[in-house]
């Protein structure tokens, strides 16, 4: 088996991207792959770089965006456009692999997926999301410019290829969730190749603040300069560049600032061991290597409000301080606070640092990350034949217990073995609905109950998509819990389930189906169905495209954008999953609500108005062939 790692890793730099690529390469080798790392960057490989896999740099030298000069003046951004105009030549160099690991979502990734899709080539694909390339979307200005490009172009084929996605932090995970990627394809594994055993903690009499990072504008150069001017503590700056040289010349008379220049790995370990605080001043970081190295040495981490540091702080709240808007006075205040901890608790301070190291070790040590990456690479999401029931609730106190009891009785009486979960998304019930569900759960029903509590009403579509994404099974039965959808028909869905349909629709309008509504509401339903057929002609052969009672593959509904205040989940699912999907209608009976009031709207005129708005939104986004977010 052959694996290709494709990204911007230039091994001679030995930065975060390079360590990530190397770690992935050795994991793939350990799993029996013949590994090749392709780097688009045009650099000479140094003689002292020794790797046990194939490393081909400057592989995209025919592409204008990989030009050394263009890459330099664009500060690396141009690498993201490699393959935009020269993919055919590039593909000849990277073709024929069984597994592709793309380090970033860029045009080369998009072009590759497009080619695979068009030519029915089906290698295994993993998308890595490393470094600052992705993180520009965390800024409002760049998000407005690039989010449309990423949605409509870069990720156009991502769902049809069902690739695995390795996210580095919460921001990335939420991005892909909004894009509609099923949860089972997203792996939260923060790439980190830090062996905590190499990092020591040593006593020191001084208080040392360490900056261990590339000095560029987006790495916090201006912020560091302000800190130097206002600091009354020692600052050690490790690394070498022209910008460091300029800072050295400018602040050579500052006794508390040391410019260490280029340092070896051994020197770095020693400096880290005798420091107290590590600074990360970057504007964009998915997960900073220097930050993790500081934590591995028991250093307190201080940095700006960026996704990578927020992710670290989530798991290590007592080891990280986030400073908003690069407020220099707040940086200094936090540094003074850590210095006070050291001065006031001299005997306990080593324990303070050891605790930082231990807590970070549990999440970011190389061996722990390696095991997670191995599971990600080797995991084949085995589709099960179990079914989750998904519903939306809002003030259903008078119905919810009866509904759950009916499901329980049906499962027992009909010996239904493959329904093992009920997912209830509650939109802020104030009448005791939640307490009723929790009380029922205590009786150990023959299915798990997953209750998702939200604090405001957001609509049926939003709730059911949320429920779908949180369901554990690959197939779902969607229905209302207000008893208008008789529970007995669940058995009919289960009987039809094994025939390989993607969607099974509970229909009121085929032979055997029935709508027990009053005449006015029945007419509105028929007219609404006719409108749906008019706007979406492909639904014409479906008698009841507005049914709220249906069985569906999880991936078909969980990949949708969760619009607020929409009420036609089946129509939405059909519109955006209408190609090569097998569906069938089975008869159901629709009952009138006995208790409570409708979750939609009151008054026929408002119902019609809301429906037209919903149809127009679906129609607009269907024309664009994308889901906006």
Whether 102 and 227 map to the same domain: the answer is: no
Separation CA 55–CA 49 (nearest Å) = 10
Q: What is the pLDDT of residue 44?
A: 47
Pick the closest to residue 105 from 148, 182, 161, 165 (CA basis): 165
DSSP 119: T
Residues 126 and 202 grouped into a single domain: no
Same domain, 33 and 178: yes
Banded pLDDT at 371 (limits 50, 70, 90)? confident
Q: Structurally, how many domains does the chain consist of?
A: 3
Shortest CA distance to 338 belongs to which of 209, 147, 222, 183? 209
Does 379 reside within a domain?
Answer: no
pTM above 0.75, yes or no: no
Q: Are 20 and 64 in a shared domain? A: yes
Long-range CB contact pairs, 219-222, < 8 A, 24+: 219/281, 219/282, 219/283, 220/279, 220/280, 220/281, 220/282, 220/283, 220/304, 220/326, 221/247, 222/326
pLDDT (tens digit per residue) in 549-570: 999 999 899 878 888 888 889 9
With both helix axes pointing from N to C terminus, report the angle between 170-178 and 307-315 in degrees, rounded to the nearest 10.
110
Nearest to 380 by CA among 169, 126, 113: 126
**Residue 476 — very low, low, confident or very high, per pLDDT cuts 50/70/90?**
very high
Q: pLDDT tens across 197-241, in order?
A: 999 999 888 899 998 765 444 457 778 888 888 888 888 888 766
Is 224 in the same domain as 328?
yes
349 and 408 assigned to the same domain:
no
Residues 6+ apart with CB under 8 A from 208: 233, 234, 235, 236, 274, 275, 276, 277
In terms of pLDDT, which residue wins out, 125 or 145?
125
Determine the Cα angle at 325 with ends 319 and 331, to 5°.
45
CA 506 vs. chain centroid, Å, equals 33
428 phi and psi angles, rounded to 5 deg:
85, 40
Question: How many whole angstroms separate alpha carbon 459 and alpha carbon 453?
Answer: 14
Q: Which two tokens stand for residue 13?
A: 């730099």
Spell out the residues 6+ positions from residue 528 whose beta carbon is closer than 8 angstroms to its own: 546, 608, 611
- Who has greater pLDDT, 42 or 182? 182
- 284's CB contacts (< 8 A; 6+ apart) are 132, 135, 136, 138, 139, 218, 306
- What is the Cα–Cα distance from 82 to 100, expressed in whole angstroms? 17
Q: Are residues 331 and 415 in the same domain?
A: no
- Does residue 357 form part of some domain? yes
User: For residues 418 and 388, what is the distance between their CA atoms, to the nearest angstrom?
Assistant: 9
Q: Are residues 163 and 253 in the same domain?
A: no
* β pairing state of 503-507 and 320-323: unpaired
Give the span between the Cα atoms of 237 and 257, in whole angstroms. Answer: 8
- The answer to the question of residue 629 being in a domain is no
Compute the average pLDDT of residues 259-281. Answer: 88
Q: Are residues 174 and 59 part of one domain?
A: yes
Instruction: Please state, in angstroms and rounded to a whole number, the distance separating the CA atoms of residues 19 and 10.
Output: 10
- pLDDT, residue 459, reads 86
Residue 435 domain-assigned? yes
Give yes or no: residues 440 and 588 share one domain.
yes
In a domain, 592, yes or no: yes
Domain closes at, from 131, 158, 188: 188
- The CATH number for 130's domain is 3.40.50.11930
Average pLDDT over residues 423-441: 93
Domain that holds residue 229: 196-363
3-class secondary structure, 581: coil
Q: What is the CATH number of the domain that holds 479?
A: 3.90.550.10
Mean pLDDT value of segment 370-382 = 78
Helix extents (H) in 442-577: 460-470, 490-497, 519-535, 554-558, 569-575
Q: What is the pLDDT of residues 446-460, one digit of tens each?
A: 999 999 999 888 888
Q: Which of 147, 166, 188 is the endpoint of a domain?
A: 188
Residue 381 lies in a domain: no
User: What's the token pair of residue 279?
Assistant: 């600074």
Contacts of 20 (CB under 8 A, 6+ apart): 9, 103, 128, 130, 191, 193
Domain boundary among 294, 329, 363: 363
For residue range 600-623, what is the model confidence (pLDDT) as tens digits?
Answer: 444 555 667 778 788 888 887 776
Same domain for 207 and 58: no
Q: Is residue 392 part of a domain?
A: yes
User: Residues 229, 144: one domain?
Assistant: no
Alpha helices in 481-577 (DSSP H): 490-497, 519-535, 554-558, 569-575
Is 311 part of any domain? Answer: yes
């Amino acid at each position: 088996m052959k694996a290709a790692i494709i990204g911007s890793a230039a091994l001679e730099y030995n930065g975060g991207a390079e360590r990530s690529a190397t770690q992935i390469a050795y994991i793939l080798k350990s799993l029996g792959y013949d590994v090749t790392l392709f780097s688009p960057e045009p650099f000479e490989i140094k003689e002292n770089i020794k790797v046990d896999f194939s490393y081909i740099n400057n592989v995209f030298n025919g592409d204008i965006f990989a030009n050394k000069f263009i890459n330099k003046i664009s500060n690396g951004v141009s690498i993201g456009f490699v393959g935009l105009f020269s993919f055919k030549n590039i593909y000849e160099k990277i073709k024929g692999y069984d597994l592709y690991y793309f380090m970033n979502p860029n045009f080369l990734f998009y072009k590759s997926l497009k080619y695979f899709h068009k030519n029915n080539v089906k290698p295994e694909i993993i998308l890595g999301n490393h470094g600052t390339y992705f993180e520009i979307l965390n800024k409002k200005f760049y998000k407005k410019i690039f989010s449309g490009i990423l949605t409509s172009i870069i990720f156009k084929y991502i769902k049809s290829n069902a690739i695995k996605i390795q996210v580095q932090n919460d921001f990335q995970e939420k991005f892909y969730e909004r894009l509609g990627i099923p949860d089972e394809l997203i792996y939260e594994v923060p790439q980190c190749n830090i062996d905590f055993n190499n990092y020591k903690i040593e006593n020191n009499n001084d208080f040392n603040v360490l900056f261990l990072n590339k000095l560029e504008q987006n790495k916090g150069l201006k912020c560091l300069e302000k800190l130097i001017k206002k600091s009354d503590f020692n600052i050690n700056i490790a690394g070498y560049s022209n910008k460091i040289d300029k800072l050295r010349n400018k602040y050579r008379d500052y006794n508390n600032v040391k410019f260490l220049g280029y340092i070896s790995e051994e020197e770095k370990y020693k400096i880290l061991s005798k420091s107290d605080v590590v600074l990360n001043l970057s504007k964009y970081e998915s997960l900073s290597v220097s930050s993790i190295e500081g934590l591995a040495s028991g250093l307190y981490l201080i940095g700006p409000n960026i996704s990578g540091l927020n992710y670290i702080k989530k798991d290590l709240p007592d080891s990280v301080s986030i400073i908003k808007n690069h407020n220099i006075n707040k940086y200094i205040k936090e540094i003074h606070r850590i210095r006070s901890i050291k001065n006031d608790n001299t005997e306990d301070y080593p324990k303070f640092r050891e605790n930082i190291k231990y807590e970070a070790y549990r999440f970011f040590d190389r061996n722990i990350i390696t095991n997670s990456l191995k599971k990600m690479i080797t995991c084949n999401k085995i589709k099960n034949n179990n079914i989750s029931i998904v519903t939306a609730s809002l003030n259903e106190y008078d119905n919810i217990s009866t509904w759950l009891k009916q499901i329980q009785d049906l499962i027992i009486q009909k010996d239904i073995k493959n329904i093992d979960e009920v997912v209830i998304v509650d939109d802020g019930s104030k009448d005791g609905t939640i307490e009723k569900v929790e009380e029922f759960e205590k009786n150990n029903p023959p299915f798990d109950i997953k209750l998702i509590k939200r604090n405001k009403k957001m609509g049926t579509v939003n709730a059911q998509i949320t429920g779908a994404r949180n369901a554990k099974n690959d197939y779902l039965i969607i229905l209302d819990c207000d008893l208008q959808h008789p529970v007995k028909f669940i058995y009919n869905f289960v009987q039809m389930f094994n025939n390989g349909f993607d969607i099974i629709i509970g229909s009121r309008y085929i032979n055997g189906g029935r709508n027990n509504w009053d005449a006015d509401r029945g007419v509105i339903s028929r007219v609404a169905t006719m409108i749906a057929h008019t706007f979406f002609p492909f639904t014409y052969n479906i008698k009841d495209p507005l049914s709220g009672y249906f069985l569906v593959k999880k991936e078909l509904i969980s990949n949708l954008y969760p619009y607020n205040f929409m009420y036609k989940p089946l129509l939405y699912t059909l519109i955006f999953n209408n190609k090569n999907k097998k569906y069938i209608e089975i008869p159901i009976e629709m009952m009138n609500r006995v208790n409570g009031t409708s979750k939609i709207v009151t008054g026929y005129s408002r119902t019609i108005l809301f429906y037209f708005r919903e149809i127009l939104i679906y129609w607009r986004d269907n024309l664009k062939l994308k889901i906006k977010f």
